[in-house]
Amino acid sequence: MFKDLGITFYRGILTGFNDAFWISKEKRDKLIAEDKNAEKIIKPFLRGKDIDRYKYNFSELYLIYSHSDVKEKDYPGITEHLKEYKSELKIGAGANQKVSLYEWWQLQVDYYSSGTYKNFEKEKLIWMELTDQPKFTYDDKFIYPDKRCWI
């Protein structure tokens, strides 16, 4: 039925290592102050627990969305931040794959994720994956949800 309506469901972002890719507002502001270009890949972020019935509570958490088109040299401040986690990220880049398609600084996009920012940067419904009560929210601010959410 949904397929007939042209509706597709996607899971939120699975980072592979949240400590590296989830950042505070303070860290976001610092990275953007150092390099205005960084704002292009730092996105407002929503965790499953931030979703309530018919609304969300933005916790001023941000995602470094370093997708497969991101080049390490284009975002020096972000690269420096991610270097703090390089050893963990290098392990994650090939952990469940024979050959990784991504570099250590890039998110390891999986089959169930949208695979493209275009699906996050439009109006959408977001809902929690597992909950004992309805927790849906409407988003028109282009927030990127985590893996515990669907769009």
pLDDT of residue 37: 94
DSSP state of 143: P
pLDDT, tens digit, 9 for 90 and up, residues 75-130: 999 999 999 999 888 875 544 444 456 788 888 665 445 556 778 888 988 988 77
Q: What is the pTM of this model?
A: 0.84
pLDDT of residue 2: 61
> Rounded to the nearest 10 degrees, how much is the dihedral formed by the CA atoms of 53, 127, 148, 56?
-40
Beta strands in the chain (DSSP E): 22-24, 42-46, 51-52, 55-56, 61-64, 124-128, 136-139, 144-145, 149-150
Residue 147 has pLDDT above 90, yes or no: no
Burial class for 27, CB neighbours closer than 10 Å (0-12, 13-18, 19+): middle
pLDDT of residue 106: 83
pLDDT of residue 64: 95
Neighbours of 106 (CB within 10 A): 21
Neighbours of 102 (CB within 10 A): 19
Q: Are 107 and 92 in contact (CB under 8 A)?
A: no
pLDDT of residue 92: 58
| Residue 54: φ, ψ to 5° | 70, 10
60-73 mean pLDDT: 89
pLDDT, tens digit, 9 for 90 and up, residues 6-54: 777 888 888 878 999 999 999 999 999 999 999 999 999 999 889 888 8
Q: How does DSSP assign 95-116, residue by residue?
A: TT-SS-SS-TTS----TTB-SS
